[in-house]
Homo-oligomer: A and B are copies of this chain.
Amino acid sequence: MKFRRSERLIDMTNYLLEHPRQLVSLTFFSERYKSAKSSISEDLAIIKETFEQRGIGTLQTVPGAAGGVKFQIKVTDEEAKPFITELCEQMASPDRLLPGGYLFMTDILGDPSIVKRVGRLFASAFAETQIDVVMTVATKGISLAYAVASYLNVPVVIVRRDSKVTEGSTVSINYVSGSTKRIQTMLLSKRSLAEGSKVLIVDDFMKAGGTVNGMVSLLEEFKAHVAGIAVLVEAEKTEERLVDEYLSLVRLSDVDEKEKKIKVSEGNYFNK
C-alpha cells in the first residue's frame, strides 16, 4: 500500500514530534511510506516551513549518505513572552505566600500544560548545547526535569535526600544550604550517571543556590560536567548567590510576609 502525501505529512509530523533531536534518515521514511526519496524530501520541506512558521520548532537537514532530518524544539519570543508574563501573574497571587518567603507552586508544577511549556522553553534555550542527561533533586523539580528531558530526548536522573533500597548503592555528599546555612545530604544512585556526562541541572526554585551547588558538587564526584542550569523561579534578595550562570523564567524580587505582598518579574530568559 502506498501512502498519499496528506497521510505522510500527518504521520511524519507525529513521528518527528515524538523523536526530537534524533537523526531520522530519508531511507527510514521512504521505506515507512513506500514512497520515493524525492517525495519524502518534498514532504520534509513543507513540514520544515510549517514548523518554523507556526513556532513548533526547526527541522535540520543533514546531507549525505548518513544524512537525514533532525527535529529540534525552538520556541519563538512571541510564544515565550506571553507565557512568562502569565506565569508571573500566577505566581504573584498573595495566597501563594508560605512561611520563610517560599511560594506554594505545587499546583503549577502539577499542571502538565504549564510544565510542558516550561520544558519547551528550557529545551529551546539549550537546543545548541550538548546535553546527555537532565538532573534534578526530588521532589518538586521532577516534572520539569522530565518535560525538558523528553524534549531533549535524554534520560533524567533524580538526586534524593534520603537513601532507599530501590536505588542500589549510592554516592552521597554533604552541602551547606545557602539560605539556612544548615548542613544537608544529597545522594545519587551509583549506576545512574556515567563518567563524563554533560548534565543539565533543572530545579523549580532557587534561593541562594545551595541545592543547585550541591548538585554541582555531586557531579564532580561522578566526574560529570555541568552543561547548564535552568530554574523556573529564582528569588532575588539573597545576600550571596552561590551560583553564577543559570537560566530563570521568573524572578521573585520582593516578598513582604507581613503585608502578604509578592513582587514578581521576568527572569533572565530573554537576556541570554
Judged by a CB distance under 8 angstroms, whether A46 is at the interface is yes
From 42 to 95 in chain A, residues with beta carbon under 8 angstroms from any chain B beta carbon are 46-47, 49-51, 53-54, 56
A12 to chain B, nearest CB (A): 8
| A145–B156 CA distance with the chains assembled, in angstroms | 15
Measured CA separation A48–B160 after assembly (Å): 44
Q: Does A201 contact B (CB under 8 A)?
A: no
Which of B100, B147, B155 touches A107 (beta carbons < 8 Å)? B155
Within 8 A of B (CB), among A81-139: 98-100, 102-107, 110-113, 115-116, 138-139
CB distance A166 to B106 under 8 Å? yes
- How far is B155's CA from A9's CA once the two chains are assembled, in angstroms? 31
User: Which of these, B11, B103, B143, B166, contacts A50 with CB under 8 Å?
Assistant: B11
Q: Within 8 Å of chain B (Cβ to Cβ): is A153?
A: yes
User: Mostly helix, strand, loop or mixed at chain A's interface?
Assistant: helix
Nearest B-chain residue to A166, judged by Cβ: B102
CA A166 – CA B147 in complex, angstroms?
Answer: 21
Q: Which of A1-60 contact B (CB under 8 A)?
A: 5-7, 9-11, 13-14, 17-18, 46-47, 49-51, 53-54, 56
CB distance from A151 to the nearest CB of B (A): 9
What is the size category of the interface that chain A forms with chain B? 35 or more
Q: Does A265 contact B (CB under 8 A)?
A: no
List, in ascending order, chain B residues with CB within 8 A of A160's CB: 139
Pair A102/B165 contact, Cβ less than 8 Å: yes
Known contacts being A11-B54, A139-B138, is A155 close to B112, with CB within 8 Å? yes
28 contacts between A and B (CB under 8 A): A6-B46, A7-B50, A9-B13, A10-B54, A11-B50, A11-B56, A13-B13, A13-B14, A14-B17, A98-B165, A102-B166, A104-B166, A104-B167, A104-B189, A106-B157, A106-B158, A106-B191, A106-B192, A107-B155, A110-B149, A110-B156, A110-B158, A112-B149, A112-B154, A112-B156, A115-B150, A116-B150, A143-B146
